[in-house]
Structure 1
Amino acid sequence: MSEKLPLVLGSGSVFRKAQLERLGLAFQTALPDFDETPAAGESAADTALRLAEGKARSLAAAFPAALIIGADQVAWCGNRQLGKPMSVAKAQQMLLSLSGQCIEFYSAVVLLNTDSGKIYRHVDKTVVTMRCLDAAQIGRYLEREPDAVYCAGGAMSEGLGAALLERVESSDPNALIGLPLYRLIGFLQEEGVSVV
């Protein structure tokens, strides 16, 4: 059990930071330095878990006695991984191709205790069914939700992106935003960190 180890969120994501802030825990953020290139033949779930763990481990030297949270999300549709579009043009193209489709989101979370070396791993699967969308709807959405270009699949479910979705199936609604909080809370409790 860790005694007052600092909590570090290894992510530059404003979305994950906001999720963790809602738990009311004291934490700091640090940018991980890890290559996020998918490996050949790797499943989406394996990619998400490898990247989440790699991000956490990349910060271990800087935080030798801490609880480091690593997270990553990979979207999968039509036998291919979907990245973050990073531009409006790519987001428009991606969202048009996803219109009416089912997308699987694999959201991985890792908690690494750099003092004891203990690591906890989890991948949450969320299946999202997109509404049938036309180019005009997608254009209006991206005008009103410009940060969507930084989200896997180009849709921010926690914002106006909800209008793009027809159905969401998940054991943890937080996972789709990027951080599976239900499992993370359990990991933190295992390390002696009480959320409530």
Structure 2
Amino acid sequence: MKIKKRLILASSSRFRQQQLKHLQLPFEAIKPEFEEYPLFNETAAQTALRLAAGKAHSVAEQFPEALIIGCDQVAWCNNRQLGKPLSVAKAQQMLASVSGQELIFYSAIVLFNPAENRLHQHVDETRVLMRKLTLTQIDHYLRLEPDAIYCAGAAKSEGLGALLIKRIHSTDPNALIGLPIFHLIDFLLAEGIDIL
């Protein structure tokens, strides 16, 4: 494996860092300085892609010769965007509102090459059908899976969130966790990174 450029993950998410570690590529994780909020009349997919690109661009000045990975994920249900609840109370409300519903997770991935001003980008769509949940089940899940408050839609699918899910339809099972690896590999190859 030949890594010609420094690889930076513009994320403080330990979930995404763990996913990238599975590829056994040397990388550094840098927390991006970028405000995350949806814009008026922006679709969930547009929000996810704008935030992913914004995160990558926010660290580009520090690492102008690196390849920078930016990611973001937004969930959509009942005609509204669902981000990370960040509190147990909000997670309880969010999970109660999506009980028995279909959620669409938009997972955006970008690879930015600042030296060449080249941006590769993709938004992966994953459809998740949630089980009908009681408030007791939601409370029990959140006690056992405290990290769920840091996940879009409060459903940590790689953990106990699998108990909440009836069905998943996706072209990349990694995308639901937060990092669409299949497209990232394509982007790295396009930038001359020998993965294997």
TM over 0.5: yes
Q: Distance in 2 between matches of 1:91 and 1:37?
A: 18
Match of 2:11?
Answer: 11
Offset of residue 175 of structure 1: 0.3
Structure 2 counterpart SS, 1:59 = helix
- Are positions 1:55 and 2:38 aligned together? no
Offset of residue 193 of structure 1: 1.2
Offset of residue 96 of structure 1: 0.8
Q: Distance in 1 between matches of 2:90 and 2:40?
A: 23
Contact 2:96/2:133, CA 8 A, preserved across alignment: yes
Q: Distance in 2 between matches of 1:32 and 1:149?
A: 20
Identical amino acids, percent of aligned pairs: 59
Match of 1:127?
Answer: 127
Match of 2:136?
Answer: 136
Q: Deviations over 1:83-130 (max 9, x none)?
A: 111111111111011100000000000000122111100000000000
Q: Following TM superposition, where does structure 1 have runs of at least 4 consecutive aligned residues deviating by more than 3 angstroms?
A: none
Q: Distance in 1 between matches of 2:94 and 2:37?
A: 19
Q: Distance in 2 between matches of 1:38 and 1:180?
A: 21
Structure 1 counterpart SS, 2:60 = coil
Structure 1 counterpart SS, 2:31 = coil
Match of 2:44?
Answer: 44
Offset of residue 195 of structure 1: 2.0
Q: Distance in 2 between matches of 1:21 and 1:115?
A: 25
Structure 1 counterpart SS, 2:123 = strand
5 Å-filtered alignment, 1:104-183, equals: 104-183=104-183
Offset of residue 3 of structure 1: 6.8
Match of 1:192?
Answer: 192
Q: Distance in 2 between matches of 1:68 and 1:39?
A: 24
Offset of residue 192 of structure 1: 1.3
Contact 2:3/2:194, CA 8 A, preserved across alignment: no
Structure 2 counterpart SS, 1:172 = coil
Contact 2:32/2:55, CA 8 A, preserved across alignment: yes
Offset of residue 43 of structure 1: 0.4
Amino acid at match of 1:166: K
Cα root mean square deviation, aligned = 1.1
Match of 1:93?
Answer: 93
Q: Distance in 2 between matches of 1:118 and 1:187?
A: 11
Give the unaligned 5+ runs of structure 2.
none
Amino acid at match of 2:131: R
Offset of residue 194 of structure 1: 2.2
Amino acid at match of 2:84: K
Q: Alignment length, in residue pairs?
A: 195
Match of 2:102?
Answer: 102
Q: Distance in 2 between matches of 1:115 and 1:188?
A: 15
Structure 1 counterpart SS, 2:57 = helix
TM-score in terms of structure 1 length: 0.97
